[in-house]
């Protein structure tokens, strides 16, 4: 098969080589292919000879898809050598007998080049730019092997060669479009064969942690068929194992340490894990893990609008998210990420830890939920950016006072207006991000002026929502369309303005009433510190809005205030004053559960 065919697709959109990868394993197949391609590198670096090794000039001999050997062609023009680099100059043919003027021709006129860099430019442009980069992209886009892992394998197969500058930061690639237009030109491209060691070091509170120094359990087996649940109270060990499993291309399911052991075991089984790592050791779960080339991160949805769902995202898709997050959010490039959110959740793990490591930072993971202890930790950190759930950010803001926090990132739920105002007053830099369990972070808002501003979409995806009125928020990612279950609009800046969960819209005689509008009106009354609107059954209108609120405001005063600001359909027919609203650790409220509890108590 021509190497150029390896990156083609079937009519169903799947890679042509998918059956081979399923049969042999993506990582093993890729490593073998790179081994078969190695003679091209060996010929250049050890013998001073370069061939034009693009996909049309190379044929792969395979046995049922397993790479066996390489056939190269087109030597009449596309072969170059450097006389002083030849390992066996005595074997060089007498080309002058064929081309009499070769001895006096300038270097580069025929096959003879002036230096090793000429050979490098030919081989790397053809082999790296056009063969390997296309294959790396294909495997990454189809969530089969993270691009970072592909190039790690490639660097092992094509080690640096002294004198050839094969590990230079950039190399010249031929500008093919320019050549079609009659111009000969090159342009510099980043060199993926240059070793870029990714830092893995992080801090747990004040303790510097290098995962390589930890005594972690050995987890043997085929990485593509290994799925490990992590139920550990030691955050350092948990995070180190997540990083190790990711680097090995295995799958993992981090489970919050406060989950009871029996529930953690059930979650691990539901997630398809075959091993459970816990404080007491490693327990086999006596089931086969699903095949997952390149590995996946398994997490559960929040469950605030239904039963929690098991969601598996490939490490390749997560790396795409990390790269896009860094490009879309350069404002935090010089800030130290401080993760006061669970690392078992994508917000703390991906946006906080993995993005921080990719930026070259040493992320600080906090093991305490005590707000005063967190503020003491922040005093010793340069330009801290705090990743935390909205309730914790609200408490930190109240305790630290005006401009007491350097920077904060909020996620998980729309901040109530009083919380939003308090955090903006306290933080010199305020950000908030929006996402969904299936696709990760979707948008980031820099210095939002209203709680509902979720910001601009990340560059690797597209968001669709309403224009003039709220409509379902859908995301297009890698060719798939995901319905987030949310409603929103896209404003003139391209920012997503959140309008609420579709399942929480109140149907009043066929007219949609949005809880967020009722809550905003209630929170505009001084003294109301929190509010949540929800639907209750109504015999004539199907549903009517009700409102639970906190604060020293009488129901009569609040009702008068709302009557002046809301339409008759929006006006709550029931008001429930509470000491405080039952928000979860992430700031969300299960509205249906709250409605059932309040209505039952009122009967």
The model's pLDDT over 385-402, given as tens digits with 9 standing for 90+, comes to: 999 999 999 999 999 988
Radius of gyration for the alpha carbons in the chain, expressed in angstroms and rounded: 29
Provide the CATH number for the domain formed by 505-602 in this structure.
3.30.300.30
Q: Residue 210: which region, alpha, beta or left (left: phi > 0; alpha: psi -120 to 50)?
A: beta
State the pLDDT at residue 452: 95
State the pLDDT at residue 603: 66
Closest to 242 measured CA to CA, from 320, 345, 368: 345
Is 352 buried (19+), middle (13-18) or exposed (0-12) by CB count in 10 A?
Answer: buried
Q: How high does pLDDT run on average in the chain?
A: 90
Which H helix or E strand runs over 410? strand 405-410
The model's pLDDT over 305-358, given as tens digits with 9 standing for 90+, comes to: 556 789 999 898 898 899 899 999 999 999 999 999 999 999 999 999 999 999
Intra-chain end-to-end CA distance of the chain, in Å = 74
If one compares 425 and 12, the residue with the highest pLDDT of the two is 425
- pLDDT band per the 50, 70, 90 thresholds, residue 197: low
State the pLDDT at residue 306: 55
Place of tokens 């031929």: 174
Please state the rounded mean pLDDT for residues 426-455: 95
The DSSP output letter for 418 is H
In three-state secondary structure terms, 561 is: helix
Q: How many CB atoms lie within 10 A of CB 266?
A: 12
Give me the sign of the Cα torsion angle 73, 77, 78, 79. Answer: positive
d(CA 540, CA 485): 27
Collect contacts of 4-8 with beta carbons under 8 A, ≥24 apart: 4/54, 4/55, 4/56, 4/131, 5/55, 6/33, 6/55, 6/60, 6/135, 6/138, 7/55, 7/134, 7/135, 7/137, 7/138
Highest mean pLDDT (candidates 123-137, 215-229, 296-310):
123-137
Please state the rounded mean pLDDT for residues 504-531: 92
202-300 has CATH 1.20.1070 classification: no
State the pLDDT at residue 545: 94
* Residues with Cβ within 8 Å of residue 158, at least 6 apart in sequence: 34, 38, 41, 166, 193
The model's pLDDT over 27-82, given as tens digits with 9 standing for 90+, comes to: 889 999 999 999 999 999 889 999 999 989 999 999 999 999 999 988 777 788 88
- pLDDT band per the 50, 70, 90 thresholds, residue 477: confident
Global pTM value: 0.75
State the pLDDT at residue 221: 76
- pLDDT band per the 50, 70, 90 thresholds, residue 302: low
Give me the sign of the Cα torsion angle 595, 597, 601, 603. Answer: positive
| Parts of the chain belonging to CATH 3.30.300.30 | 505-602
Closest to 578 measured CA to CA, from 562, 560, 561, 602: 602
Which H helix or E strand runs over 175? none
3-169 has CATH 1.10.510.40 classification: yes
In three-state secondary structure terms, 509 is: coil
- pLDDT band per the 50, 70, 90 thresholds, residue 215: confident
Residue % of the chain over a pLDDT of 70: 98
| Parts of the chain belonging to CATH 3.40.50.980 | 318-458
Residue % of the chain over a pLDDT of 90: 63
The model's pLDDT over 266-289, given as tens digits with 9 standing for 90+, comes to: 999 999 999 999 999 999 999 999
d(CA 339, CA 356): 10
CATH topology for 318-458 is: Rossmann fold (3.40.50)
């Amino acid at each position: 098969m021509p190497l150029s065919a390896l990156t083609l697709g079937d009519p169903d959109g799947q890679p042509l080589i998918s059956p081979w990868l399923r049969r042999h394993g993506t990582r093993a197949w890729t490593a073998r292919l790179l081994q078969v391609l190695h003679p091209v590198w060996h010929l250049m670096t050890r013998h001073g000879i370069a061939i034009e090794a693009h996909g049309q000039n190379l044929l792969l001999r395979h046995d049922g898809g397993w790479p066996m050997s390489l056939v190269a062609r087109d030597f009449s023009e596309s072969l170059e050598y450097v006389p002083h680099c030849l390992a066996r100059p005595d074997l060089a043919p007498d080309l002058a007998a064929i081309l009499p003027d070769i001895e006096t021709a300038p270097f580069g006129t025929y096959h003879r080049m002036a230096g090793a860099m000429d050979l490098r430019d030919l081989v790397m442009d053809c082999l790296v730019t056009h063969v390997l980069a296309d294959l790396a992209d294909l495997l990454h886009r189809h969530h089969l092997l993270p691009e970072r892992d592909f190039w790690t394998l490639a660097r092992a197969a094509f080690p640096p060669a002294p004198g050839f500058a094969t590990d230079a930061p950039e190399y010249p690639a031929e500008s093919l479009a320019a050549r079609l237009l009659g111009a000969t030109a090159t342009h510099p491209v980043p060199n993926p064969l240059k070793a870029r060691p990714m830092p893995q070091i992080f801090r747990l509170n004040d303790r510097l942690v290098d995962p390589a120094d930890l005594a972690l359990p050995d987890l043997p087996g085929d990485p593509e068929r290994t799925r490990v649940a992590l139920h550990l109270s030691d955050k350092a060990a948990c995070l180190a194992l997540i990083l190790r499993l990711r680097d090995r291309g295995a799958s993992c399911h981090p489970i919050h340490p406060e989950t009871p052991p029996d529930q953690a075991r059930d979650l691990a089984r539901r997630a398809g894990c075959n091993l459970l790592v816990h404080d007491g050791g490693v327990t086999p779960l006596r089931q086969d893990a699903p095949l997952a080339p390149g590995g996946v991160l398994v997490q559960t949805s929040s469950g605030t609008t239904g039963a929690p769902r098991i969601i598996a995202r490939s490490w390749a898709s997560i790396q795409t998210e990390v790269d896009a997050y860094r490009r879309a959010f350069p404002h935090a490039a010089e800030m130290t990420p401080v993760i006061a959110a669970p690392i078992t959740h994508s917000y703390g793990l991906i946006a906080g830890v993995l993005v921080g490591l990719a930026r070259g930072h040493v992320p600080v993971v906090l093991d305490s939920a005590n707000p005063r202890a967190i503020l003491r930790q922040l005093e010793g950190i340069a330009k801290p950016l705090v990743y935390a759930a909205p309730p914790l950010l609200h408490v930190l803001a109240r305790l630290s006072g005006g401009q007491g926090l350097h920077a904060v990132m909020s996620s998980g739920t729309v901040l109530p207006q009083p919380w939003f105002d308090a955090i903006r007053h306290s933080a010199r830099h305020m950000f908030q991000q929006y996402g969904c369990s299936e696709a990760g972070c979707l948008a980031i808002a820099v210095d939002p002026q209203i709680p509902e501003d979720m910001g601009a979409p990340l560059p690797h995806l597209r968001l669709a929502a309403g224009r003039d009125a709220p409509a379902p928020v859908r995301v297009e990612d890698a060719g798939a369309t995901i319905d987030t279950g949310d409603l929103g609009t896209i404003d003139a800046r391209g920012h997503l303005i959140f309008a609420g969960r579709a399942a929480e819209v109140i149907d009043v005689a066929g007219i949609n009433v949005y809880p967020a509008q009722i809550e905003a009106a209630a929170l505009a009354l001084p003294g109301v510190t929190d509010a949540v609107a929800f639907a209750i059954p109504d015999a004539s209108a199907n549903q009517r809005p009700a409102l639970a609120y906190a604060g020293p405001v009488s129901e009569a005063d609040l009702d008068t205030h709302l009557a002046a600001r809301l339409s008759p359909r929006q006006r709550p027919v029931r008001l429930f004053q509470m000491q405080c609203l039952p928000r979860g650790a992430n700031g969300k409220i299960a509205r249906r559960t709250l409605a059932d509890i309040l209505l039952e108590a009122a009967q």
